[in-house]
Amino acid sequence: MNDFQDTIAQLLGVERVTLSHFASGDLSSVMRADTHDNRHFIAKGGPAPALEAEMLRLIAAAGAPAPKVIAANDKVLIITQVDGHSGFSGAQADLGRALATLHAATGARYGFGDDYAFGKVAIINDKTDSWVAFWRDHRLLNNIGDIPPAIARRLEKLAGNLADLLPDSPPAALLHGDLWSGNVMSSSGRVTAFIDPASYYGHCEVDLAMLNLFGSLDDAFYGNYPALEPGYRERQAIYSLWPALVHLRLFGSGYRSMVEGFLSRCGY
């Protein structure tokens, strides 16, 4: 067995496992691990498997759907395989209920304590008492040295006025942190799991902005999610900037127009 296989077998307490390809993402591959006694698990690497395990446990503890964590260390995360397919088409009503449950779990401060990463892009999660300061310093200005100067100048202008655009003390909701449609599993009109989290505590609207980034939430979702504060649509552009900037840094100039579009929607 190779090292990855051997690590999985050790964590499962078996002599050997058989691995087969399960799925590929932009940042990591996911394998199916089968044991000799006909048990089946999902195994993945990633930037910090043990930390991802902690995030999944927090999501489950909040009462939201998540795979069960079987084992984890600094090399691999092993979880149960969940029913369904990626995406939330036909399950928006249940998505509203599930996300409301997740966001009802709150923390005392914004952030997470432990940092994370999307590939080469660090996700700084230093805990703060000011949501404006957290978003300004750890989701916007932290990108300045890695983006084109013209975009950096516009981003700095937006950051300088952020206190007029975002609430400073919204409830510190437990966020999924990377909630695009591919990280929602669903089946027969219900959400079966939130997967691949990059969790921290922050304004609940961050997850909603991500869900709207490459898709669209409909009335069935909003009918089962708590009413949003006035100005939600305007704030959505500010929160969408973070994943757009991540895509620009990871995948290049093809995402420049997305970043510029959100800056224009913000008035910068």
Catalytically active residues are 178
Half-sphere exposure of residue 261, counting CA atoms within 13 Å on the CB side?
11
Query: Which value, to the nearest 10 degrees, does the dihedral of the CA atoms of residues 240, 242, 244, 246 take?
Result: -160
Alpha-carbon span 116 to 71, nearest angstrom: 19
Residues 6+ apart with CB under 8 A from 62: 101, 102, 104, 105, 174
Residues 6+ apart with CB under 8 A from 13: none
User: E strands of the chain, at which residues?
Assistant: 17-24, 29-35, 40-44, 69-72, 77-79, 85-86, 116-118, 121-123, 173-175, 184-187, 190-194, 200-202
Alpha-carbon span 224 to 86, nearest angstrom: 21
Three-class secondary structure assignment of 82-99: CCCEECCCCCHHHHHHHH
Length of the chain: 268
Name the residue type at position 48: A
Alpha-carbon span 216 to 201, nearest angstrom: 23
Alpha-carbon span 48 to 33, nearest angstrom: 19
